[in-house]
Structure 1
Amino acid sequence: MSETKTSLNTAQRRAVAELMRVSPVADELGRRFAAAGHELHLVGGSVRDALLGRLGDDLDFCTDARPEQTLALVKGWADAIWTTGQEFGTIGLQRNGLRLEVTTYRAEAYDRVSRNPIVRYGTSLDEDLRRRDFTINAMAVSVPGHTFTDLYGGLDDLARRELRTPGTPQESFADDPLRMLRAARFAAQLRFAVAPEVRAAMVDMAADLSRITAERIRDEFVKLMCGADPVFGLRLLVETGLADQFLPELSGLKLEIDEHAQHKDVYEHTLTVVRNAIGLETDGPDFTLRFASLMHDIGKPATKAVGPDGRVSFHHHEVVGARMTKQRMQAMKFPKDVISDVTGLVALHLRFYGYGRGEWTDSAVRRYVTDAGPLLSRLHKLTRSDVTTRNRRKAANLAADYDALEERIARIEAEEDLARVRPDLDGNEIMRLLGLPPGPLVGKAWRHLKELRLERGPLTHEEAEAELRRWAEDNGV
């Protein structure tokens, strides 16, 4: 273990000085706690990120003060206070645009059966640091004194870019199995390697993840997917068996052969698509796009067929995959709107193929845009990302075809405002012209006119009235 409380070397001094320059609020808060006879330390991810030169606006502190004492110390000083985490020892506050969380020293205990920790307050910084997940998150800097504390070699591990646990990984993961998933998340976020003994424990204890609630797993997984290199983390999940505990469809792709690129299996193809999609992002991590890229081919194992000529096919795998994606996301307790967006992209990801054969009419383009709706921009990215062939001519042709489709969409949109495709008559006009009260028949007439709008483009008012009366006559209205 590294020395406990030591003078800072030159690199550490620079990092802490930068931290305090960015956040003088920390020293202000530290002086308030010291005046009341309490310790306060900047801790965990805040120290780690400061040493990595990537400190954000969220700062984490630990203290020997109890939550009610912390609350009394920050009242009148903080710009805002929230107490939603008070039962777990945490008081949140805001000061000068920074979000701060102050948590009482912990010595959490788990019964290793239930899904939630039993919060027990600790009595020292040393005890608090030992219960943290990884050594790189178990460093602290006192405020206002700036004493650096590194009991478990976190600084050395940070320099090696390696994830280790303060105690044995078996002890750490038995206390909270979610830490195994967190290891994969930090690997994805920080591009850090996982120490061999940590990886071995992840393999041996993967089944313990079943003790964790779906919501906690979901939240960690979202963070992993939004990391700098989610593919690294995803590989770790599959290789350790953790993916089988909550996302078995991912591991199931490894054995399938991709009919579009015979040189690689669907698993490798999928990871390439995820990386391609990340490369097309323009406004930071897009979980919906990334997860749709990950799930777009999960219907292939269930639809695999081998023809008389030996060729492999996966007919309708996008339909099956969308259904499987919905079921998996529901099990992971994702919000309904996120489920709808991801499954919509999975269902639509093959629609483009065939466009290059000249089979698409303007009507088909309108339907493509209308079916995608607000997902169109993401669908463009997913479809382009799905091209992973090494055949340069084929890749170039597909890219050119999609360029042509986007240009065609832009032309039709400019002419017809495709984003707002509606029938040429609204419900009120339908009721007035046919003498109908509100009800199902009005909806049927509206949908008929919308189909005509998609098929033929905008109609004049007279044409729309004539089509409506023709439909009414044909349907006995």
Structure 2
Amino acid sequence: MVSPKSEDAALDRRTRLLAAAAVTLGRLSDVLTPLGEMFAAGGHELYLVGGSVRDAVLGRLGTDLDFTTDARPEVVQDIVRGWADHVWDTGGLAFGTVSAAKGAEQLEITTFRADSYDRVSRNPQVTFGDSLEDDLVRRDFTVNAMAVRIGADGALEFVDPLDGMNALLEGLLDTPAAPEDSFNDDPLRMLRAARFVAQLGFELHPRVRAAITAMAGEIDRITAERVRVELDKLIAGAHPIDGINVMCETGLAQRVLPEVPAMKLEIDEHHQHKDVYWHSLTVLEQAIDQEEGDPDLVLRWAALLHDIGKPDTKRNEPGGGVSFHHHEVVGAKMVRKRMRALKYPKQFTEDVARLVFLHLRFHGYGKGQWTDSAVRRYVTDAGDLLPRLHKLVRADCTTRNKRRAAALRATYDELEARIEHLRQQEDLAKLRPDLDGNAIMELLGLPPGPEVGRAWRHLKELRLDHGPLTREEAESALLEWWKTQS
């Protein structure tokens, strides 16, 4: 039984949150008031709805505003055209949605919906509804099923027929209808549940968790592109580890990102963590701590996936030890395969895979035995990813041995200092051979073709090994090499 004192505290928090939301929305009066007046003048209702209301209550409202109305799409267009800076249709009109921009605000105004689903795809049979309540009950979660009525005089009335505010106060994600029905209608909602856990720090209602666990295979109905969008939003959230855990515990990850739960089976070689899975989540957390500004998706994905090659490379060594030789090579290949399956852009995929491939190289640095040539190669191989590689390598230090952790940090500090020292002497960011293609062709009497490329690469290797050469040194070295090629 909830004590009266607890009830009073919840009521007080509810009052404070609604008051804060009213202040937040009051700052948008130059948009909300005229909209309310225009819809009322046409005899129509208008409500701010969904994530916009949730975020206003949580104090995190952005510039994207979602509305719902009883007006049909063509009527909505007529109402906002001439008032909005821009009105457009990006295919949403068939689904009852009109998009518009007013100042910095992006608006989506959708006619009440009462859709039905074929439960084969996630495409609804679009049907316009007649009431706000019918529209709200078809939404994914109760915290996204709150509304604010926009009055003709700018008045704001909070509407919460599905008790979304109490769910928000409790930090619970629950569905308006039975979760089995909701997820059968649109299986993507299961992944959205994990994403909202990652973004909001909420927990799943037990019935929602049970339904996702039982129905995880239904996510296979969703296209890779839609899955990718949700995964990116999840990993960019404030609590991505919680979202990843939900995916793994319910079986969703086994369908869309199986390499991650597979790491639970592996014990890392230093026996400092329960398994490689928890080590990887710790690395992700420590990589996030080093971010500057917005979430860095390339860094976050590389941190999460840096050890996915370990299950395939695990070897039990004599004496009870475990090794994972070349797991960075195998892991980079696995990253490419998974990200291609999820339809990630080619450059994004290559960036994540290269970080995974390079994350272990620093451990060959030892106590600073690398030559300048090795340092140059480290910088050159990382290229533009070097700042991210620095963060990933530092994040990968998860030992509980404080002395060892301090030694690793000091060693990497020394490597970064050496990189900076070389950078001051040489332009490492644009490290190129000391002769260009034209000079090579003139010296060797070659026409354009693959032989010029081979000569260029040889000079690049010399540049990495020995640092800058004078023109005379470069020409002499190239001629010597060319004599051995005939």
TM superposition shift of 1:311: 0.9
Match of 1:20 in 2: 26
TM superposition shift of 1:11: 4.6
Residues 301 and 444 of structure 1: is their aligned pair in 2 closer, same or farther, counting only changes over 3 Å? same
Distance between the aligned counterparts of 1:296 and 1:111, measured in 2?
40
Q: Counterpart of 1:162 in structure 2: which amino acid?
A: L
Q: Counterpart of 1:227 in structure 2: which amino acid?
A: G
TM superposition shift of 1:215: 0.8
Of 451, 474, 482, which aligns to 1:472? Answer: 482
Secondary structure of 1:231 counterpart: helix
1:298-337 pair list within 5 angstroms: 298-337=308-347
1:131-146 pair list within 5 angstroms: 131-144=138-151, 145-146=155-156
Stretches of structure 2 lacking an aligned partner (at least 5 in a row): 1-13
Further displaced range: 79-88 or 189-198: 79-88
Distance between the aligned counterparts of 1:286 and 1:374, measured in 2?
14
Q: 2:128 aligned with 1:121, yes or no? A: yes
Of 233, 252, 262, which aligns to 1:242? Answer: 252
Of 175, 190, 215, which aligns to 2:200? Answer: 190
Q: Counterpart of 1:110 in structure 2: which amino acid?
A: Y
Of 74, 83, 98, which aligns to 1:77? Answer: 83
- Alignment size in residue pairs: 469
Further displaced range: 213-222 or 357-366: 357-366
TM superposition shift of 1:83: 1.0
Secondary structure of 2:143 counterpart: helix
Q: 2:249 aligned with 1:271, yes or no? A: no
Further displaced range: 51-60 or 18-27: 18-27
Secondary structure of 1:107 counterpart: coil
Do the aligned residues in 2 keep the contact of 1:141 with 1:149 (CA within 8 Å)?
yes
Alignment RMSD: 1.4
Residues 399 and 40 of structure 1: is their aligned pair in 2 closer, same or farther, counting only changes over 3 Å? same
Match of 2:215 in 1: 205
Distance between the aligned counterparts of 1:9 and 1:414, measured in 2?
59
Distance between the aligned counterparts of 1:317 and 1:31, measured in 2?
63
Of 415, 418, 430, which aligns to 2:440? Answer: 430
Distance between the aligned counterparts of 1:374 and 1:101, measured in 2?
38
Give a deviation string over 1:404-453, Cα, whole Å, max 9, x none: 00111011111101010011111111112222111111111111100110
Q: 2:56 aligned with 1:46, yes or no? A: no
Secondary structure of 1:467 counterpart: helix
Secondary structure of 1:201 counterpart: helix
Secondary structure of 1:24 counterpart: helix
Secondary structure of 2:362 counterpart: coil
Further displaced range: 129-138 or 15-24: 15-24
Q: 2:61 aligned with 1:55, yes or no? A: yes
Of 92, 95, 102, which aligns to 1:95? Answer: 102
Secondary structure of 2:106 counterpart: strand
Distance between the aligned counterparts of 2:24 and 2:339, measured in 1?
41
Residues 263 and 37 of structure 1: is their aligned pair in 2 closer, same or farther, counting only changes over 3 Å? closer
Of 140, 150, 153, which aligns to 2:160? Answer: 150
Further displaced range: 275-284 or 110-119: 110-119
Do the aligned residues in 1 keep the contact of 2:142 with 2:167 (CA within 8 Å)?
yes
Give a deviation string over 1:114-139, Cα, whole Å, max 9, x none: 24333222222111101111001001
1:344-423 pair list within 5 angstroms: 344-423=354-433
TM superposition shift of 1:14: 4.1
Q: 2:36 aligned with 1:30, yes or no? A: yes
Give a deviation string over 1:216-269, Cα, whole Å, max 9, x none: 111011100000010001011111111011111111111101013444310110
Distance between the aligned counterparts of 1:67 and 1:442, measured in 2?
63
Do the aligned residues in 1 keep the contact of 2:20 with 2:59 (CA within 8 Å)?
no
Secondary structure of 2:27 counterpart: helix
**So what's the TM-score if we normalise by structure 1?**
0.96
- Identity over aligned pairs, percent: 60
Distance between the aligned counterparts of 1:59 and 1:106, measured in 2?
18
Do the aligned residues in 2 keep the contact of 1:261 with 1:388 (CA within 8 Å)?
no
Match of 1:3 in 2: none
Secondary structure of 1:380 counterpart: helix
Secondary structure of 2:374 counterpart: helix
Residues 137 and 454 of structure 1: is their aligned pair in 2 closer, same or farther, counting only changes over 3 Å? same
Give a deviation string over 1:170-220, Cα, whole Å, max 9, x none: 111111111111111111101011111111111111111111111111101
Do the aligned residues in 1 keep the contact of 2:122 with 2:185 (CA within 8 Å)?
no
Q: Which aligned runs of 4 or more in structure 1 are off by greater than 6 angstroms?
A: none
Distance between the aligned counterparts of 1:334 and 1:90, measured in 2?
28
Distance between the aligned counterparts of 1:234 and 1:9, measured in 2?
33
Q: 2:229 aligned with 1:223, yes or no? A: no
Do the aligned residues in 2 keep the contact of 1:188 with 1:227 (CA within 8 Å)?
yes
1:274-293 pair list within 5 angstroms: 274-293=284-303
Further displaced range: 86-95 or 157-166: 86-95
Do the aligned residues in 1 keep the contact of 2:272 with 2:400 (CA within 8 Å)?
no
Further displaced range: 256-265 or 315-324: 256-265
Match of 1:5 in 2: none
Q: Counterpart of 1:132 in structure 2: which amino acid?
A: R
Distance between the aligned counterparts of 2:187 and 2:363, measured in 1?
43
Match of 2:6 in 1: none
TM superposition shift of 1:151: 1.1
Distance between the aligned counterparts of 1:370 and 1:284, measured in 2?
26
Distance between the aligned counterparts of 2:369 and 2:130, measured in 1?
72
Stretches of structure 1 lacking an aligned partner (at least 5 in a row): 1-7
TM superposition shift of 1:107: 1.7
Distance between the aligned counterparts of 2:348 and 2:333, measured in 1?
14
Distance between the aligned counterparts of 1:164 and 1:9, measured in 2?
22
Match of 2:11 in 1: none
Secondary structure of 1:475 counterpart: coil
Match of 1:67 in 2: 73
TM superposition shift of 1:104: 1.5
